[in-house]
Protein backbone atom coordinates (compact mmCIF):
# COMPACT_ATOMS: atom_id res chain seq x y z
CA UNK A 1 0.00 0.00 0.00
CA UNK A 2 2.13 2.85 -1.29
CA UNK A 3 -0.08 5.88 -1.27
CA UNK A 4 1.16 8.99 -3.11
CA UNK A 5 1.44 10.82 0.20
CA UNK A 6 3.64 8.09 1.67
CA UNK A 7 5.73 8.00 -1.50
CA UNK A 8 6.46 11.73 -1.16
CA UNK A 9 7.16 11.61 2.58
CA UNK A 10 9.46 8.58 2.63
CA UNK A 11 12.46 10.23 0.87
CA UNK A 12 12.20 13.24 3.17
CA UNK A 13 12.24 11.03 6.26
CA UNK A 14 15.23 9.09 4.93
CA UNK A 15 17.13 12.32 4.22
CA UNK A 16 16.34 13.63 7.70
CA UNK A 17 17.61 10.44 9.33
CA UNK A 18 20.80 10.56 7.27
CA UNK A 19 21.37 14.21 8.18
CA UNK A 20 20.88 13.54 11.90
CA UNK A 21 23.28 10.59 11.91
CA UNK A 22 25.91 12.47 9.90
CA UNK A 23 25.39 15.57 12.05
CA UNK A 24 26.15 13.53 15.15
CA UNK A 25 29.20 12.14 13.36
CA UNK A 26 30.43 15.64 12.57
CA UNK A 27 29.85 16.56 16.22
CA UNK A 28 32.28 13.87 17.44
CA UNK A 29 34.64 14.11 14.45
CA UNK A 30 37.06 16.61 16.08
CA UNK A 31 37.52 14.40 19.15
CA UNK A 32 38.16 11.34 16.99
CA UNK A 33 40.61 13.25 14.81
CA UNK A 34 42.50 14.55 17.85
CA UNK A 35 42.70 11.03 19.25
CA UNK A 36 43.93 9.64 15.92
CA UNK A 37 46.35 12.57 15.64
CA UNK A 38 48.21 11.30 18.69
CA UNK A 39 49.18 8.27 16.60
CA UNK A 40 49.62 9.96 13.23
CA UNK A 41 48.55 13.32 11.81
CA UNK A 42 48.18 11.65 8.41
CA UNK A 43 45.79 9.10 9.87
CA UNK A 44 43.67 11.86 11.41
CA UNK A 45 43.60 13.80 8.12
CA UNK A 46 42.70 10.67 6.15
CA UNK A 47 39.87 9.83 8.55
CA UNK A 48 38.45 13.35 8.31
CA UNK A 49 38.65 13.31 4.52
CA UNK A 50 37.00 9.90 4.28
CA UNK A 51 34.21 11.00 6.63
CA UNK A 52 33.48 14.16 4.64
CA UNK A 53 33.62 12.32 1.31
CA UNK A 54 31.40 9.60 2.78
CA UNK A 55 28.74 12.23 3.50
CA UNK A 56 28.55 13.11 -0.19
CA UNK A 57 28.84 9.46 -1.24
CA UNK A 58 25.74 8.55 0.79
CA UNK A 59 23.60 11.15 -0.98
CA UNK A 60 25.06 10.27 -4.40
CA UNK A 61 24.23 6.59 -3.90
CA UNK A 62 20.78 7.47 -2.58
CA UNK A 63 20.09 9.61 -5.67
CA UNK A 64 21.18 6.79 -7.99
CA UNK A 65 18.91 4.36 -6.14
CA UNK A 66 15.95 6.72 -6.38
CA UNK A 67 16.53 7.38 -10.09
CA UNK A 68 16.60 3.63 -10.70
CA UNK A 69 13.27 3.22 -8.93
CA UNK A 70 11.70 6.25 -10.62
CA UNK A 71 11.19 8.24 -7.42
Q: Is 39 inside a domain boundary?
A: yes
Q: How many domains, in total, are found in the chain?
A: 1
Write the pLDDT tens digit of every residue in 33-56: 999 999 999 999 999 999 999 988
What is the distance between the terminal CA atoms of the chain, rounded to a whole angstrom? 16
Report if residue 2 sits inside a domain. no
In the predicted model, is pLDDT for residue 29 greater than 70?
A: yes
Domain of 54, in residue numbers:
15-69
- pTM score, whole prediction: 0.69
Judged by phi (left if over 0) then psi (alpha if -120 to 50, else beta), residue 70 lies in left
Would residue 9 count as lying in a domain? no
**Which carries the bigger pLDDT value, residue 18 or residue 10?**
18
Amino acid sequence: MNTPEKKERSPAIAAAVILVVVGLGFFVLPKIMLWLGTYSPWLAAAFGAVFVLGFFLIFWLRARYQRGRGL
